[in-house]
Each structure stands twice: as structure tokens, then as C-alpha cells.
């Protein structure tokens, strides 16, 4: 089991560029989520999915899109990167009970 | 709305002593779960301990225990016999167990623990 994997680990973008952060899990979990972590803050929910084909917005969804075409994959798309999106991004998956597994994170800098 | 409050931005503890990290929560749900995560300087989120709202006993995992006081809506983490490797950020989080968003966590802002030799 690889658990939750995220790519890339680091990324630098210029303002206005677009990119996709990849997330995959091999535990057959229905629930997947994207969080961002800013300095001095806990993690904040961007988007989540309760199963393939179903997504919904979290606390801070603006500027991000997601899709869930398979149970395994949950990519996060930045449509037009802004400096305010400089952050560390965590993907997580859960079977929906008392467990939540996090990926190693992607550190994104937008210049 | 759900909310997690961690009032201690930073704490120091002497090696081998016990330390308590505070966490209070606010929810109108009857069914919820409380989590503690450790985030070392390397950045990964490490699960430590879980307490369900209907669990009658306080959760324990090795040197970690959760002091759950439901009426006070508090879920403090107790680390016994602190080690230098315990120096890290610690986050308290809560999850609804009913409804469609039950996979998601609400996080506090964290407490930075520093263990002194």
C-alpha cells in the first residue's frame, strides 16, 4: 500500500499560470479532500469528494477546481495562479470513520 | 458552525515531564470525532489519537492520552514522559459523523511544542 501520494512535492508558478496538483490513494476510500495550510493556521478545506463523480466545496474553494472520475484520483486544478495561493497543499482520504490519511503535501509558491 | 480553538500558540516542556495541550470545540452535532495530529518540521501530518463523542473512556495510544470532557467541550492531549522528538506542531481537529461531509476535518490553529533537554 502506497497510501496517499501527491505530486509534485514542490512547485513554483508565475501569476496567471495554471497547473494541476495530483493526488492518488490505493486504499479504496470513498472520501477524499484537499486542504491548504498557511503559516500560523491549521489546515483549511478547499474541496472534497464523497465518491467518484461527486464533489463539493469546502471553506476556501475560490480559484480551485476538482473532479473525481475514479475512486483513486482526486486532482486539484489552479485555474489562474495568484500569490495568495502560495501555500502547502495536503490531500487526504478517509473510509469515513475514525481514520483520515494525509499525503506528504505539495509546497506551492506563486510569484 | 463548527470550530476548534487551541489557545496555546507555543509551549515548552522539560524532557521526561508530562505536558497537556489544550483544545476546545464547538458543535451542535451529537455525533462527532476528535483527532490530534503531529506535524514535525518535515511537514507531514501524523495521526496520534482519536476520540468519538460516544466513547465513554478516554482514548489512549502509548504515551498519548486524550482528556475528553464532553460537557466542557474540551479534548486536551496529554503527552507523558516527553521526548526531544516530540518537538513539533500539534493540531486538534474535529469531524462530523453525520451527513455528507463526514470525511472532512475542521482544524485548530495548532500549538508548537518545544521539548527542552
Name the residue in chain A with its Cα closest to that of B90.
A42
Rounded distance, CA A15 to CA A81, Å?
A: 5
Q: Is B63 exposed, middle or buried (0-12, 13-18, 19+ CB in 10 A)?
A: middle
Q: How many C-beta atoms surround the C-beta of residue A90 within 10 A?
A: 24
Listed in sequence order, the residues at least 6 apart from B28 whose beta carbon sits closer than 8 Å to its beta carbon are: none
Per the CB < 8 Å rule, is A42 touching B107? yes
Kindly determine whether residue B104 and residue A33, on different chains, have CB atoms separated by under 8 Å: yes
Considering only the beta carbons, identify the residue of A41, A96, A100 that sits closest to B105: A100
Residues of A in contact with B37 (CB under 8 A): 102
pLDDT tens digit at each of 111 positions of chain A:
779 999 999 999 999 999 999 999 999 999 999 999 998 888 999 999 989 999 999 889 999 999 999 999 999 999 999 999 999 999 999 887 778 899 999 999 999
The pLDDT tens digits of the residues spanning B54-91 come to 988 999 999 999 999 999 999 999 999 999 999 999 99
Nearest-CA distance A10 → chain B (Å): 12
Residues of B with CB under 8 A from a CB of A: 4, 33, 35, 37, 43-45, 47, 50, 52, 91, 93, 95, 97, 100-110
Amino acid at each position: 500500500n502506497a497510501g496517499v501520494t501527491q505530486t509534485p512535492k514542490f512547485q513554483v508558478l508565475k501569476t496567471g499560470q495554471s497547473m494541476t496538483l495530483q493526488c492518488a490513494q490505493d486504499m479504496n476510500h470513498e472520501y477524499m479532500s484537499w486542504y491548504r495550510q498557511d503559516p500560523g493556521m491549521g489546515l483549511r478545506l478547499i474541496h472534497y469528494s464523497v465518491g467518484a463523480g461527486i464533489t463539493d466545496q469546502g471553506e476556501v474553494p475560490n480559484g480551485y477546481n476538482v473532479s473525481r472520475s475514479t475512486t483513486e484520483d482526486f486532482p486539484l486544478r489552479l485555474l489562474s495562479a495568484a500569490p495568495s495561493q502560495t501555500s502547502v497543499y495536503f490531500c487526504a482520504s478517509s473510509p469515513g470513520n475514525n481514520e483520515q490519511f494525509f499525503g506528504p503535501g505539495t509546497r506551492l509558491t506563486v510569484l | 458552525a463548527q470550530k476548534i480553538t487551541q489557545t496555546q500558540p507555543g509551549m515548552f516542556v522539560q524532557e521526561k515531564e508530562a505536558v497537556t495541550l489544550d483544545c476546545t470545540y464547538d458543535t451542535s452535532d451529537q455525533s462527532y470525532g476528535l483527532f490530534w495530529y503531529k506535524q514535525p518540521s518535515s511537514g507531514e501530518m501524523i495521526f496520534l489519537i482519536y476520540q468519538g463523542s460516544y466513547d465513554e473512556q478516554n482514548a489512549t495510544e502509548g504515551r498519548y492520552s486524550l482528556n475528553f470532557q464532553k460537557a466542557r467541550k474540551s479534548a486536551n492531549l496529554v503527552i507523558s514522559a516527553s521526548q526531544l522528538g516530540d518537538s513539533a506542531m500539534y493540531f486538534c481537529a474535529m469531524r462530523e459523523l453525520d451527513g455528507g461531509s463526514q470525511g472532512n476535518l475542521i482544524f485548530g490553529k495548532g500549538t508548537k511544542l518545544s521539548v527542552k533537554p
